[in-house]
Structure 1
């Protein structure tokens, strides 16, 4: 039942000699990570695009390969979508149809009725060399409609002075208005209120945390607030920044630059409007593996990826809603249930020193269903010191430095049902 989706700025700029090599590595990493749907931005290289399709077409038969600009002097949009889920036909549109869309099964047909696109009308600096915009596809998850919008907004150039920074922000505001127009035309009020919807991509807005400490300068925080306010008005049941609403307070979710992240530029936004399929992000992580350096070379990209495991909501299913386990940890056994295949349950503990965590999960492989994280980094599991296990029981030892999160379940499996969890201190 779980759905793993992601977004990644791949930085395939035109004519870089490394494009084909990096695309080969990236294709293998996407496949190995078992994504069901991936949105890529900055795929401006035809060589990189060709490599990705050749290596991934069998695993992702539904894809948006290329969306060109209406202006001959511009590069294309750089947007690409890879999907295991079939796209549904959507109505043709005079406003959002596009003559230069290439997608799976369509060849070069200009009227393929599975993708809408709007090219942004405003830009500044080198962004004007690209035909940036926003796209829309529609699929199904759990037998219910799932709307996918994908985009790449005007870049934020850190070396610009205040005046030029203000201009880039003005451009992003205008582009968000066009994105809002696309959403409004695709969904209307009724479907926006009843269907699950995702907006993914590199939004180039520094994110903050509304429930914890700010992770961006105050001046940038207001742009994040304005963005969610504008887009949120389109969804009667609300629109959530997945990282803000599902990750623990201590993890800022910075995605840029990849080698020393200090800003959150990449996003997955969710409107969980379908009452019959109430979705939640059971685990949202930074996918460092997508960007990690090649052997003897630089990073694949200057951004980290965002990975989200979606599933049906149940209490305790994501880190911000984790069950709190108060100390002292004397070996008492907790009992719980994962209601949905591939779902997760989270527990928060606060302990300094050694700890033994024991998971009993009849009918499952506990060795793949138990991970422990520091509360300030839910993307990289803590290193375990030792482990013992059998068919239905797994025991692991860790050294904790305070606030930690225990994850029970495995989103890429069909694991569900009852389990037991024990925590006790060790010397």
Structure 2
């Protein structure tokens, strides 16, 4: 198709070949340029919280664009202030909380990196992150990302970051009074939807408080209700010093935020950070509308219930390829007994199902938060067929 030639000619190669050309979306479905319909269980990688072309999303963009879209960060707008107040309420920061707005998850984590530096100063030069973590691809967030193969082409990294294993024992050994901050993903999404050990976040909170370090939670993939709570840390009953959010809060509009708690809210001062487009009226109006609809429609609870339902469906398939499920709510990782995840993704797309493979032995499901019985029944049939296709090729020795 000509679009493939154009994509190869006009777009940078960092993303590889595009898998399809989509021209329209509605609800949980996408249509390609040839009119083929796909069930979307990727949702823009946990971004499209309300699915595609949701009326609340469309109305917010239309109405705000017709009023004011951008005034620079020298001024405030009502959508910006309303969204900051909503995020503080949902996160439970209390009156001490503050919000910084950017345009992506990476920008939110860059702001958090600077927050850690401001807290640490010369006396606390160490910043801890977890092996196999993913916090972004900018030079700052790449330094926090515990994946050496991603860092290698861009060495040297921003200094000061140390990586530790995701165990309580490693935490206890690494934390001391020279640590400025600990960065944690509550569920390591890009590593294959890997859950942290039981009690990990409580131990991280206790140890960081004991040593005066910040606990910074990367909720970019887990936030906005995806795990069955507004934020994943709320499952554990702890209070971090800061969280970063993006993806699902905008429902498809690019926006990210750093939310601070308590004394961490006083670290930034004028001139220490900024973004021309961050917190613009259009983006904050859309995010406010998306979060309001998630709240109005009870989609946080729906994520919790549908996650249980989908896990039961997967376990009921009885496929010899499946090696259990991980994650919480509608952030689901399906372990595979063979490194055939990319083949399963390709087979699913051939069947009309969009899913994702964060690594060779994991399938990731992150559908819209408002999916229901109809979409789940369709997913079950399509996914079972895709697995059967790959099982057949395995038996024939086609897939290694």
Q: Common fold, TM-score beyond 0.5?
A: no
Point out the structure with the larger helix share: 2
Point out the structure with the larger strand share: 1
Normalising by structure 2, report the TM-score.
0.28
